[in-house]
Amino acid sequence: MTIREFKMPDVGEGLTEAEILKWYVQPGDTVTDGQVVCEVETAKAAVELPIPFDGVVHALLFEEGTTVDVGQVIISVQTGSGEAAEAPAQEIPAPAEAEEAAPAARQPVLVGYGVSESSTKRRPRKAPATAVAAQNGTTAPAAAAPAAPAAPVAPAVPAVPAQPTGERPLAKPPVRKLAKDLGIDLASVVPTGDGGVVTREDVHAAAAAAIAPQAVPAAAAPAAAPAPAAEAVAVSAAAPAADASARETRIPVKGVRKVTAQAMVGSAFTAPHVTEFITFDVTRTMKLVQELKADPDLAGLRINPLLLIAKAVLVAIRRNPDVNASWDEAAQEIVLKHYVNLGIAAATPRGLIVPNIKDAHAKTLGELSESLSSLVATARDGKTSPADMQNGTITITNVGVFGVDTGTPILNPGESAILAVGAIKLQPWVHKGKVKPRQVTTLALSFDHRLIDGELGSKFLADIAAVLEHPRRLITWS
């Protein structure tokens, strides 16, 4: 029998960690090369990880909700013949058993557990839920709270009502970090986990008690309030349960939300932003949308105003190619792009992401529609890959879907401009010398003034509006 280990891979350029969102396998399950075994969330997106070999799952070394560094072993698999499939978690001896055995006979079974003659003993800690379940011949789902790496299975330790006096409180690294972030002394927290381990819920209970001690006893772990399915992935045990008497709630920022926040701060204080606005009549474009929906040649495609707005942006870039550029800080150069990777800002349960349509400038209207539909569907499912969000050149953000008239969007880092599309509303408008109800919208263009000066930015924005006001220019200006 051979135990092979699968480490957390670098699923994106320069990423150093990822959070395990969901395990698709349990100890004892048979896996094959290429089978997806878990879903992880990096700082850029949610990604499914396939196992690179065949075998039987021996142990899951981290529970769902745990943030794992790239390069750490996350799952071990028994390959070849063997009888451990029936009791996968029993192959590794408990720490106490290993210490009692002769040091010379001890064999390396996991990274970090090689031959050692040290007699140093550690207090027994709680074994992973998956390993304990496998040892008992049952299968249990991974706990929602983050956990430390799975150590060799230890004997069960009876729960204790409080931390032993003078000893360091038992808690997993993510729980210790949470307590530090919330300003909670672990020694003052009453543990409810098996073996006297402090859990996330214990820390949140202590934090809530500190805010409203008369309403939340320190010994009570607050029950997590049920959340909509779409919200559950975004929160992922990051937020404590809401309490009616609590005046504040702290939500740790991580993953996509954390990186988005950092990127926006970097962009706002690095690129000199300028924002211009234009309000105009899009009645003809709205009529064209309805005509295209009825066109049998476009049957099965998603036709909406965003599609024609994207096409108008591409036409305007063709007329003003210098807007499609980036700033090279190291070389102090402007890099003109002869391709357009058109970004579409998408609000997802995990936060705002900006995937882009590669080589959008070369696509027909039908191809652009298919790319938009695929991009939106993938983003909503949380399956956008890091590659889909890299190398964008210009972005569109549609704030109109929320009923907002306009805004001053912040540039996606590394891009030259971002166009905010406001709500399209029926408004009184002067048309052919008379006031009539017309479909009107406002566009806001933010751009990097190092790349685009006021004249170029104004021409670019005016061209986008001109195409949407008279959509025949999609043909005459192409």
Give dist(CA 243, CA 240) in Å, integer: 9
Catalytic annotation present for 449? yes
Between CA 369 and CA 297 the distance in angstroms is: 13
Q: What is the number of other CB atoms lying within 10 angstroms of the CB of residue 438?
A: 18
Tokens of residue 369, six digits: 């529609």
Return the residue matching tokens 């569907």: 377
Say if residues 145 and 191 touch (Cβ distance below 8 Å): no
Calpha distance 290→467 (Å, rounded): 17
Q: List Cβ neighbours of 164 (8 Å cut-off, separation of 6 or more).
A: 196
The 10 Å Cβ neighbour count of residue 151 is 20
183 secondary structure, DSSP code: T
Q: How far is it, in rounded angstroms, from Cα 74 to Cα 47?
A: 15
Amino acid at 12: G
Whether 422 contacts 414, CB under 8 Å: no
Q: Which residues neighbour 117 within 8 Å (Cβ) at sequence distance 6 or greater? A: 103
Instruction: Please give the Cα distance from 264 to 410 (Å, whole number).
Output: 7
**DSSP states along 210-239:** HH-TTTS-TTPPPPPPP--HHHHHHHTT-S
Could you tell me if 380 and 234 are in contact, meaning their C-beta atoms sit under 8 angstroms apart?
no
3-class secondary structure, 27: coil
Q: How far apart are CA 321 and CA 63, in angstroms?
A: 50
Q: Are 406 and 443 in contact (CB under 8 A)?
A: yes
Please say whether the beta carbons of 56 and 88 come within 8 A. Answer: yes
Calpha distance 84→81 (Å, rounded):
9
From 204, 273, 431, 449, active-site residue = 449
Strand, helix or coil for residue 266: helix
Token pair belonging to 7: 């480490």
Distance of CA 441 to the CA centre of its chain: 32
Residues assigned a catalytic role: 449
